[in-house]
Amino acid sequence: MSRTTVSHVLNHADRVSVHLRERVLKAVEELGYVPNPQAKSLRTGWTNLVAMLIPDIRNPFYPELVKTAQYELEAVGRDTLIFNVDVPGSHSQEHSKEYLRQLRIKRVDGLIVGDFALHGMHDALFQLDIPAVFIGHLPNHAVDSVKTDDFGGGYLMGQHFAR
């Protein structure tokens, strides 16, 4: 069978007969064939990768954030690439710069940035050409951001206990 025929069976099943589709799928199963996601990304322009830039994996907040993001991204067919800025040897700001550079090379489809992962280099987000969201207070509004209202939460907690 030609590569084109196999491609049609795997990507455009309506273009081939039922008999041919069954033969190809049987061969795929027998050979243990798995499509190459990098090759597919060249054709589609999508990697199905979303990167997460986090400041410190040891901070209990970030493993929960990563776990939740991975769960939700997997549900929509995306993989997660984690960059932990606080790696041994310090130099966190240099690691942040390097990881932002790598995002361009790895051609990720999106980025989630945990607060403090950029070490004050918020202007670097203006250079991104991918969808991104910042978790925390982003002073320059370079990308969309999500933050908690610590003051409002504290106020509501105080009201609750004052009753």
The 10s digit of each residue's pLDDT in 75-117 is 998 999 998 888 766 677 788 888 888 887 778 899 999 888 8
- DSSP-assigned beta bridge partners for residue 49: 79
Q: What is the pLDDT of residue 69?
A: 94
Q: Which domains occur in the chain, in start order?
A: 3-35 (no CATH), 43-150 (3.40.50.2300)
- Number of Cα atoms under 13 Å in the Cβ half of residue 145: 17
Average the pLDDT over 126-136 and give the result.
90
Which of 5-9, 11-15, 118-122, 129-133 is predicted most confidently?
A: 129-133
Crossing angle for the helix pair 18-31 and 3-11, to the nearest 10 degrees: 100
Locate 159 and state its tokens: 């009201």
- Render pLDDT for 33-77 as a digit per residue (tens, 0 to 9): 887 766 666 666 667 899 999 988 888 999 999 999 999 999 998
With 80 as the cut, is the pLDDT of residue 19 above it?
A: yes
